[in-house]
Structure 1
Amino acid sequence: MNRFQIQQMLDGVRATLKSENEKLNAMYMDSKSTVEARNNQVAVVKDLEEREKGIAAQLKKFDDDAAAKLQTQKYPKAMSERDKAIENKAEVIRNVMNGNKDGASNAIKSLGGRYTVNALSTNSSTGNGGGSFIPKTTSADIITEPCQKEIKQLKIKQK
């Protein structure tokens, strides 16, 4: 049973409960109604109230299970376009350094094919190992140590 069906059932029981409550109130106002008829109507109302509580509990359990399932699934955080580009460039570099050309080409495709790996080889003809380590296309994106305002202020005061 899906949520829509449970909700429809709950709405139906609530509508019936409302009409049966109105009928019970009318019986209380009618001086000709018998005690037995009123007791039967009270039993009907109590039964409907119990059904309503049970169906509402089912619906709450269904919603709680769905919410728990959503929380267990891991969705990536919403990233800005700049963050996505940086993450993809890092993925290209990691894959090239690990020799995984398929992963690098997938990361390049996710960059829109705009990124070329000009240099990332650790093998060099000079034999010193490290060769051209940073690609030319990331030279504008070189990562530097962030400067803190306090450090800058101290340097200014020292001059």
Structure 2
Amino acid sequence: MNVEWQNPNVPPIVNRGETVKVWALIESCVYDTKWGGLDDDGKATRTSTLKSRAARVVELHYGNVSATPDEIAYVEEHGEFPDSAPGRLDEWLDENGEFHALHGFYREYPDEGGMCIDAVTEISSGQFCINSGWYGEGNPEIILLAWAEFEKPPVPEKFPDFTIKAA
């Protein structure tokens, strides 16, 4: 299987209201976090120091989830998108009926009975990152290096022989 990696600056083409799954080449960052005293607001302070980085290939998503002002007005009045709205925009309404637009790469994971989303954002250095509030500003949790289409591998013509031979 030949994987063609793409620059994150050139995202996949996705119709409005749709999302796609992609392979993502990331750099995963691990930090050593130390707790200190209290800040001016009385909150505990912490410092995070980069401990290690490792390249990985993971699944991410790319979404073109946006709504027009007329569609938002319809949602505010009816609690759902009109039938004329594209894609699955209703899936992006939270339990309070608020629409969460997203146009970009994101990570999706289950948490407390629902799905959580962490958006990949471009930071001042030009890198695409997921920043965790846990590690502090400027300490990305992951750095998106490249993406590729999420292609299912073909069924091999010859199956590998994994039969365990008796000794």
TM-score, normalised via structure 1 length: 0.21
- Greater helix fraction, Structure 1 or Structure 2: 1
Select the structure with the greater relative contact order (CA < 8 A; seq sep ≥ 6). Answer: 2
